[in-house]
């Protein structure tokens, strides 16, 4: 875990006079937005043991970590669908997560089984830093997003609405580039699209 103060060398020169607690909050918001836009933080959660007659389970997330979305769900080494609220009727077997905290399994398990979820994550509201790889690979970009947030604040020594708009646009454009690079698997080749047979 890398704490937000490690971002200061990239952030503070652009927002002179900004109090450190305010900078930390902006960095947290920028890191959350970065993870939402790029889907860069992906992890396999600890297995969930299902119980007979129980269809709802707490997600095994660390404190100060929040779910962006479930990417892959497997029950006993068998892939099952991840449904949204609008398409649950399209699948016989599925999991759904509508509150970001609990996962619903359909049909209701009738025995002990193992549910493994691969999810995209983001820092939570109580986070005091980010995962090491997010800092190591994306420190400057997250600091750019935090600077854009801070410069939008009115009547501060570091207020600069015009620069904020430019930095926000650059932040979002670079996040899109990170997402594309990750989709390609950090490789030179473009992945093939899997056909969908209706």
DSSP per-residue letters across 145-174: HHHHHHHTSTTSTT--HHHHHHHHHHHHHH
**pLDDT at 84 (0 to 100):** 82
Each residue's pLDDT tens digit, 172-192 = 999 999 999 999 887 776 666
Which residues are within 8 A (CB) of 176 and not within 5 positions of it... i.e. 6 or more apart? Answer: 37
**pLDDT at 185 (0 to 100):** 83
User: How many contiguous H segments (helices) and E segments (strands) does the chain have?
Assistant: 4, 10
| pTM exceeds cut of 0.75 | yes
**pLDDT at 85 (0 to 100):** 75
Buried b (16+ CB within 10 A) or exposed e, 166-179: ebbeebeebbeebe
Residue spans of the domains in the chain: they are 2-40+131-183, 42-122
Cα 66–Cα 76–Cα 65 angle in degrees, nearest 5: 10
**pLDDT at 192 (0 to 100):** 62
Tokens of 102: 């609990």
**pLDDT at 39 (0 to 100):** 97
d(CA 81, CA 72): 8
**pLDDT at 58 (0 to 100):** 97
Which segments in the chain show pLDDT lower than 70?
88-90, 189-198
Pairing outcome for strands 42-44 and 114-123: antiparallel
d(CA 88, CA 74): 17
Backbone angles phi, psi at 142, to 5 degrees: -65, -40
């Amino acid at each position: 875990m890398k704490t937000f103060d490690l971002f200061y060398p990239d952030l503070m020169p652009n927002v002179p006079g900004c109090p450190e607690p305010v900078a930390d909050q902006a960095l947290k918001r920028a890191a959350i937005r970065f993870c939402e836009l790029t889907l860069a933080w992906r992890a396999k959660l600890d297995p969930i043991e299902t119980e007979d007659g129980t269809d709802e389970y707490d997600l095994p997330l660390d404190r100060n970590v929040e779910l962006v979305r479930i990417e892959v769900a497997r029950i006993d080494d068998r892939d099952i669908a991840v449904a949204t609220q609008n398409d649950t009727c399209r699948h016989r077997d599925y999991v759904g997560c509508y509150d970001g905290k609990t996962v619903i399994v359909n049909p209701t398990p009738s025995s002990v089984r193992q549910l493994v979820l691969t999810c995209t994550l983001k820092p939570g509201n109580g986070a005091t830093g980010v995962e090491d790889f997010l800092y190591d690979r994306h420190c400057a970009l997250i600091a750019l997003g935090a600077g854009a947030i801070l410069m939008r604040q009115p009547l501060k020594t570091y207020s600069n609405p015009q620069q904020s708009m430019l930095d926000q646009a650059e932040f979002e454009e670079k996040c899109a580039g990170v997402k594309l690079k990750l989709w390609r698997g950090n490789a030179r080749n473009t992945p093939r699209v899997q056909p969908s047979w209706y």
